[in-house]
Amino acid sequence: MRRILAAAAGLVVLAASACSPPAPPRAEAAPATPAGPATLPAPTGPHPVGTTALYLKDTSRPDPWNLDAEARELKVTLWYPAARRGGQRAPYMTPKESELMLRHLGVAGVPDDMLSRTRTNAVKDASPAGRNLPLVVLSPGFTKPVSTLTSLAEDLASRGYVVAGIDHTYENHATTLPGGRVAECLACDSDTDPGFGTGVVAGRAADVSFVLDELPARWEGAALIDRSRIAMAGQSIGGASAVATMVKDPRVRAGVDLDGTTYARIPKGGFSRPVLFIGSPQHVPGGRDTSWERDWKLLTGWKRWLVLSGAEHQSFTDGPLLAGALGIRPAPGVLSAARAAELTRTYVAAFLDEHLKSERRALLDKPSSRYPEVTFCPAAC
């Protein structure tokens, strides 16, 4: 099973991973006093945000990890523009999910339910609002629940997107299913198997296609979605899964890979749908991860390859925002939690605005003095 270490820049750094090449050892930051429950940054868009959860069962295929399950069960969390402000804030995760996640992360000295007390911005089961809204599917990193992308999801919803975050069951440390059942990580024992990454992204692509099939009939707000405008984004193997899904499912018009090694085979004749790579310095040309460099020449449509100086693997998730609550002190030279969230939100939203809303974003054309941490590769790397 992969070893997950607490890290200075965020909740965790992956010391060995099917999602990205192994990082060189680095000293862990000295522990600090936990600061109490974390608060996610406020969304930047004009709309209040609602959220709700759906539970779907795909009876057409067995679960790839649980041999005793005859169907694939999925939890889908939706974030969306809400009709009005006010109401009960949605929980970040359940206390049991927090307990299991902290146990597997090796974080001690904080209450077991600390992560469940993280303050979010979305109102639970709020009435949805809007019309002809683009849809963005989110997929998290391996062993992580989709809740670790909540800051990005809330921000996109506030900007007028419907966001469908998928918990790929048995691929993270805890997913709560109907009846209070908690599915733990069965895939974690297989992540060193040959072809593991390729198999995971293929399975996640099937998950996404099933969710797109089922969503219209399973959510009362689905009529608000413009199903001709769908994109996908993800972190780590979730980002790799965005590329894999696009190759398999033409409904997904554009994709964002946040620091994820790519596994899906891109057609030799080229792939013309828009792709945005945003990563840490491991993804510079000639760096430790060469998958983006390999695939870059096969991307024949709109494409950008951005590298953030000071970023680490979890900088594109809520991990850094949760670090203080767990007594993890930032390491010198690492991008701050607030700045990492700002950069991730800003560039992902710009990409989606351009390719789902047809709103030109000059930010994606060249480096910006407002965001000097962002380098445009391969030319400037």
The domains of the chain are located at: 4-377
Decide if 259 contacts 239 (C-beta within 8 A).
yes
Separation between Cα atoms, residue 107 and residue 224, nearest integer Å: 41
CA 347/CA 355 separation, integer angstroms: 12
pLDDT band at 108 (very low <50, low <70, confident <90, very high): confident
Query: To the nearest whole percent, how much of the chain has pLDDT over 70?
Result: 92
Q: Cβ contacts of residue 123 below 8 Å, gap of 6+? A: 48, 49, 50, 51, 82, 85, 86, 87, 88, 89, 90
As a 3-state breakdown, the chain gives helix, strand, coil percent values, each rounded to 5, of 30, 25, 45
Checking if the pLDDT of 115 tops 70, the result is yes
- Sequence-distant (≥ 6) Cβ neighbours of residue 160 within 8 angstroms: 45, 47, 81, 130, 133, 134, 357
Share the mean pLDDT of the chain.
Answer: 91
CATH of the structural domain 4-377, one choice from 3.40.50.1820, 3.40.830.10, 3.20.20.70, 3.40.50.970: 3.40.50.1820
Is the overall model pTM greater than 0.75, yes or no? yes
Note the pLDDT of residue 325: 94
Position 15 pLDDT exceeds 80: no
**In this predicted structure, what is the pLDDT of residue 32?**
64
